[in-house]
Structure 1
Amino acid sequence: MTSVTEQLNTLFTSIAFAGRASADDWVRDSGLTRQQGFALRYIEENQHRDVIARELAVVSGTTPASVASLLQGLEDRGYITRTPSPDDSRVKLLAITAAGSDLIEGFDEAVSAAQVRLFSGLSPAEQEQLVTLLERIIETAGVPVMAAPPRRGGSPSGRRGPGGR
């Protein structure tokens, strides 16, 4: 017999994987790998503050060598540029090109639509009740809330909550 705690963990895991699967479907259809899609989106959202490869390696949990290879591939395909930093010519600043931005256009909308479908079996009141219960779990357990990444263009993505990408 499965305990309620085990059932909850199984259900949370299933929901998380379903959300990730929708993002993976979109990325696959774009012709990118998950890592390339993440890199393009991260660079686009943060290029205003001079993103460098080392930062991308840290936030993605990837080795610098893997990031260097990934960036070379994105640059070869015309999706990013790397330019020397005015402060240190050994450091390259990353920026997304118009082609790279066009490629990832629609990602946020596709993922958001998949999330809406995922929770559509609950009424708006039930969704609010679920949010309240989950926030209580987060608060009493002292679990850090993982903020969802901002939407393209830097505007907030709405309610911040557990999960995110």
Structure 2
Amino acid sequence: MTRAEQINAAIRAIAFAQRATADAWVAGSGLTRQQAFTLGYIEEHQDRGVIARELAEMSGTTPASVASLLQGLEDRGLLTRTPSPDDSRVKLLAVTEEASELVVGFDEQMRAAQERFFSSLTVDEQDQLAALLDRVVAGLDVDIPTEPPRRTRRRR
């Protein structure tokens, strides 16, 4: 195994550990992965106004699927829809306090897991690793998205 393959394998192992931590939280939350992702996304972006069409585009699902997902979350008291002040036909999505508490629980569990993942390194070693990875990322010749990609479904 080359050094690059070894580094890549280690990064993948960390990503898989993060995914397993997220999946464990989702399993205990009473939500599906899609519901949890949707609530987290809405909560993170609701200040600028999230609409159902954006969720459909971003997740690559149909508007009907998103409508069903949102209805289920609204029925559980985790989501509200209010008319946009700019266009009453458009409904802005927001999470309820109960949903926000669920999202905070997820964030706290993920932060704790990340601390555990790197606890075998000293603080100085963690700083060195972060600096080295920052250099690798800065040298990439691709744009690194700050938000999940927007996907559109292909028409058949």
Query: What is the TM-score of this pair, normalised by structure 1?
Result: 0.78
Aligned residues: 148
- 1:84 paired with 2:86, answer no
User: What's the CA shift for 1:144?
Assistant: 3.6
C-alpha spacing 1:49/1:127, structure 2 compared with 1 (3 Å): same
C-alpha spacing 1:132/1:101, structure 2 compared with 1 (3 Å): closer
Which of 53-62 and 78-87 deviates more?
A: 53-62
Q: Secondary structure at the match of 2:139?
A: helix
Residue in 2 that maps onto 1:155: none
Contact 1:44 1:96 in 2 (8 A): yes
Contact 1:79 1:100 in 2 (8 A): yes
Q: Which runs of no fewer than 5 residues in structure 2 stay unpaired?
A: 149-156
Residue in 2 that maps onto 1:46: 45
Residue in 2 that maps onto 1:131: 130
Residue in 2 that maps onto 1:12: 11
**Aligned equivalents of 1:74, 1:132: Cα separation in 2:** 40
**Aligned equivalents of 2:139, 2:66: Cα separation in 1:** 38
C-alpha spacing 1:96/1:130, structure 2 compared with 1 (3 Å): same
C-alpha spacing 1:63/1:4, structure 2 compared with 1 (3 Å): farther
C-alpha spacing 1:144/1:128, structure 2 compared with 1 (3 Å): farther
Identity percentage of aligned residues:
62
Q: Secondary structure at the match of 1:26?
A: helix
RCO higher in 1 or 2 (8 Å CA, sep ≥ 6)? 2
Query: What is the TM-score of this pair, normalised by structure 2?
Result: 0.82
Contact 1:26 1:107 in 2 (8 A): yes
User: What's the CA shift for 1:148?
Assistant: 8.5
Residue in 2 that maps onto 1:28: 27
**Aligned equivalents of 1:111, 1:146: Cα separation in 2:** 20
**Aligned equivalents of 1:86, 1:135: Cα separation in 2:** 41
Q: Which runs of no fewer than 5 residues in structure 1 stay unpaired?
A: 150-165
C-alpha spacing 1:97/1:140, structure 2 compared with 1 (3 Å): closer
**Aligned equivalents of 2:48, 2:136: Cα separation in 1:** 35
**Aligned equivalents of 1:48, 1:138: Cα separation in 2:** 29
